[in-house]
Amino acid sequence: MTTVPDTARDTASDSARTRRTAPVRLGERPLTPAEVVAVARHGATVEIADAAHERVAATRALIERLADDPQPHYGISTGFGALATTFIAPERRRQLQASLIRSHAAGTGAEVEREVVRALMLLRLQTLATGHTGVRPVVVDTYAAMLNAGITPVVREYGSLGCSGDLAPLSHVALAALGEGDVRDGSGELLPASLALAEAGIAPLVLEEKEGLALINGTDGMLGMLLLALHDLTVLLDTADVAAALSVESQLGTDAVFAADLMALRPQIGQADSAARLRALLAGSEITASHRDPAVCTRVQDAYSLRCTPQVHGAARDTHAHAALIAARELAAAVDNPVVTSDGRVESNGNFHGASVAYVLDFLAIAVADVASISERRTDRALDRTRSHGLPPFLADEVGVDSGLMIAQYAAAGIVSELKRLAVPASVDSIPSSAMQEDHVSMGWAAARKLRRGVDGLARVLAIEIVTGCRALELRAPLAPASATAAVRDLVRAAGVDGPGPDRFVSPNIETVTALVLAGEIACAAASATASEDARGGRR
């Protein structure tokens, strides 16, 4: 799968890089997800704790003693993978380390996004700083200096099987630290790594025993993408509730089905959370109140896409919570092979296998596809005059002459169809490599890459529902909407998105609202309005 550039996210990230945040300190405790996002997306710098330097120096002394041992030790005085039984003489070990990095930097395809590369660099640095990998302090300092200088190695789309670490992606980073390959500087300019390091005053690394493996044996790429996706989905799931509220309100749906006592009959945490948000978002709506009287509205119940919104959105929230738990555990890990234990042993292990991360990446892709699917169904209902309860066909101004938002729904449908394909798990696949030594792999990198595309698609589907819901809301005038949905409508209109009227160029409206969605401005506008309504005592 080739990643399509995400213009809205790239624009937001470019803007965010101009903000300076406090340095993120490594080596005292595991990183938090927010710290990873700060460094990866917003350009925060890093610093290494003194205690971490001391641990790294102590374990390096152990590695150097083992390097002098006539008995072979994997990764220190032997080859790698299927060549693990090959003893390497001391005078050839520097060449061994450099050869490992050069040969494993075998990625191909499109460049991976800057924020992903910075995330995997930071996460590898965190593991190096634990003192469990056996590298020298200079290796830790070099990676920190590259991050702080904004040097981003060029990493390619394909190359990782999600086992033995994200080998190819991490090797491209290590290659840049050696002064080889290509990088992008802080302004995004492509240049040779040797030149970028020289301009930043960073000496290229010359790797010693064990260090090559330590730089490439980790789940850092897939974990970094998981943390970025979790961050984005926190916003998107809140936004999905806002989009649903617009649809429920403008399509004359009932909010009675979201009642707390009904939710309590099925004690799912995410479901109750989503329902509570929907109640708050719809509080005070004249539109919703206008059809509560059975004499006015004879419908017994709404369609599933309206009525079951908390059940679907809530399941996605619970999935998000589970994935966040796995990510937090992985953030506390020191993944390498072999690893230096706390009591000074150097042991081979399988902690580099990415199954735990890969599973939740796939799980999230399923949730993303389903939240987008129910959103598109709500959009379609608003555009169908036989189901929208009085709205014009396709919300068009002059029916027949104008097509309204007909093709916007096509775009949502096309994205949802792709998201369903992307929801097919990558982690159920495996393919043997390294002469059958590495005979079961996680495909976690592939799971992460498709989830990133899924997150972008969900944002666009929600944007189309918001464009539709805001227009439909205005067509219910003179009845006033809820404070929260009115605030979203006002934000969308202030951004230059067209309301009801003759046909205009639709694509820019979708792109504008997509940017608002990804930046969290839609969710923030709704949250501010509900907080104000609650403070005034207006929430039911």
- Mean pLDDT of residues grouped by 10 in the chain (540 residues)? 42 42 91 97 97 95 84 72 69 86 95 98 97 96 98 95 88 98 96 98 95 92 98 98 98 96 97 98 94 70 95 98 97 90 86 92 98 98 94 94 96 98 92 74 92 98 98 96 98 96 96 98 97 66
What would the two tokens of residue 388 be?
């929208």
Which amino acid type is present at position 85? Answer: T
With 0-12 CB in 10 A as exposed, 13-18 as middle and 19+ as buried, what is 309?
A: buried
In whole angstroms, give the CA distance from residue 24 to residue 344: 28
On the 0-12 / 13-18 / 19+ scale of CB atoms within 10 A, 392 is middle
Kindly report the length of the chain.
540
Q: Could you give the CA distance from residue 140 to residue 135 in angstroms, rounded to a whole number? A: 8
Q: What is the pLDDT of residue 298?
A: 62
Structure token pair of residue 325: 């738990």
Map 187-253 to HEC letters: CCCEEEHHHHHHHHCCCCCCCCCCHHHHHHCCCHHHHHHHHHHHHHHHHHHHHHHHHHHHHHHHCCC
Given this model, what pLDDT does residue 81 score? 62
Instruction: Read off the pTM.
Output: 0.93
346-347 and 339-340 as β-strands: parallel, antiparallel, unpaired?
antiparallel
Which domains are assigned to the chain? 7-218 (1.10.275.10), 227-335+348-535 (1.20.200.10)
pLDDT of residue 441: 82
Read off φ and ψ for residue 192, nearest 5 degrees: -65, 145
Helix or strand (DSSP H, E) at 158: strand 156-158
Cis check for the bond before 338: say yes or no (omega within 30 of 0). Answer: yes
Q: Is 299 left (phi over 0), alpha (psi -120 to 50) or beta?
A: beta
Residue 14's H or E segment, with its range, is helix 7-17
Angle at 396 between CA 391 and CA 400, to 5 degrees: 115
C-alpha 118/C-alpha 108 separation (Å) is: 19
Helices and strands, counts by H and E, the chain? 21, 9
Cis amide prior to 478 (ω within 30 degrees): yes
CA torsion, points 26, 27, 30, 35, in degrees to nearest 10?
-10
Catalytic residues: 74
Torsion angles phi and psi, residue 153, rounded to 5: -60, 150
Report d(CA 290, CA 147) in Å as an integer.
57
* C-alpha to C-alpha distance for 101 and 173, rounded to whole angstroms: 9
Asked if residue 28 lies in contact with residue 49, where contact means CB atoms within 8 angstroms, the answer is yes
Distance from C-alpha of 355 to C-alpha of 357, rounded to nearest angstrom:
5
Strands 46-48 and 24-26: parallel
pLDDT number for residue 11: 39
Q: Could you tell me the end-to-end alpha-carbon distance of the chain, in angstroms, rounded to an integer? A: 47
